[in-house]
Chains A and B, each alone.
Chain A
Amino acid sequence: EVQLVQSGGGLIQPGGSLRLSCVASGVTFDKTYMSWVRQAPGKGPEWVAVVFPGGYSKSADSVKGRITISRDNSKNTLHLEMNSLRGDDTAVYYCARLWADIGSPYYMDVWGKGTTVTVSS
């Protein structure tokens, strides 16, 4: 069974930074595509970034230049670091495992429980 356990987050002052972690089990992590999605209070989900097994990543324009996605394949762990935080970064942040049938694009099939980030003074 695939499980994603998230940690990090909390109350952060505007202009500060965050580091979120996501530990995966039940997967061959060094071959697994992963993603981050966030959801502001009362809003729908917003895709943040995707990271390929080799570490290459793509991110949304709303966070581009402010985030670093990294992975430690020896620890089955994905990290999201974001700086210059502002109020509209307040959200629940989810990590998700990506899956694909052969010849098809990847989609998010298993999600972590989420971790809350609140940006406020």
Chain B
Amino acid sequence: DIQMTQSPSTLSASVGDRVTVTCRASQSISSWLAWYQQKPGKAPKLLIYQASSLQSGVPSRFSGSASGTEFTLTISSLQPDDIATYYCQQYNSYPWTFGQGTKVEIK
């Protein structure tokens, strides 16, 4: 199985800060990576697919990038509504696997 390792596990930042979450795959997954945002008691919401494609309706302050097996989710200017847990997920091969999550808090 492909292991997805996210860091950090928790991130505290101020409103307006640039925030970066990293996800590393244990082997090549090409660009077949998605990022999800999950708020408490809610289903995950797709933000980014194919490593860097912004899902329709998602604010442009969210972006994704890739370099080899390392993937990054960036929030260019953190907003109060962005408080959530973020997960990466590879869909290159079965079983699909998720990272352990990054909880983003407001400082």
CB-based contact A47/B98 at 8 Å:
yes
Determine if A9 is an interface residue (Cβ-Cβ < 8 Å): no
CB–CB A45/B44 < 8 A: yes
Contact of A108 among B46, B92, B97, B99 (CB under 8 A): B46
> Which A residue sits closest to B49, measured CB to CB?
A107
The answer on a CB contact under 8 Å between A109 and B46 is: yes
Is the beta-carbon distance between B43 and A47 smaller than 8 angstroms? no
Contact A107/B34 with A45-B87, A45-B89, A114-B43 known, Cβ cut-off 8 Å: yes
* B interface, size bucket: 20 to 34
- Within the complex, the shortest CB–CB distance from A7 to chain B, in Å, comes to 15
- The 8 Å CB contact of B101, one of A44, A94, A106, A114, is A44
- Give Cα A105–Cα B99 distance, bound, in whole angstroms: 19
Residue A104 is within 8 A (CB to CB) of chain B in the complex = yes
- How many Å from the CB of B7 to the closest CB on chain A? 14
Give A64's nearest chain B residue, CB to CB. B95
Cβ–Cβ < 8 Å partners of B3 in chain A: none
Partner of A105 from B42, B43, B91, B100 at Cβ < 8 Å: B91
Is there an interface contact between B92 and A109, defined as CB atoms closer than 8 Å? Answer: no
Instruction: Give min CB distance, A36 to chain B, whole Å.
Output: 11
In the assembled complex, the Cα of A107 lies from the Cα of B53 at a distance in Å of 12
- Assess whether B98 is in contact with A104, with CB atoms less than 8 Å apart: no
Q: Which 10 A-B residue pairs are closest in the complex by CB-CB distance?
A: A47-B96, A111-B43, A44-B101, A107-B91, A60-B95, A45-B98, A44-B98, A107-B49, A109-B46, A107-B34
16 A–B contacts from the bound complex (CB under 8 Å): A44-B87, A44-B99, A44-B100, A44-B101, A45-B44, A45-B87, A47-B96, A50-B96, A58-B94, A101-B50, A105-B91, A108-B34, A108-B89, A110-B46, A111-B43, A112-B43
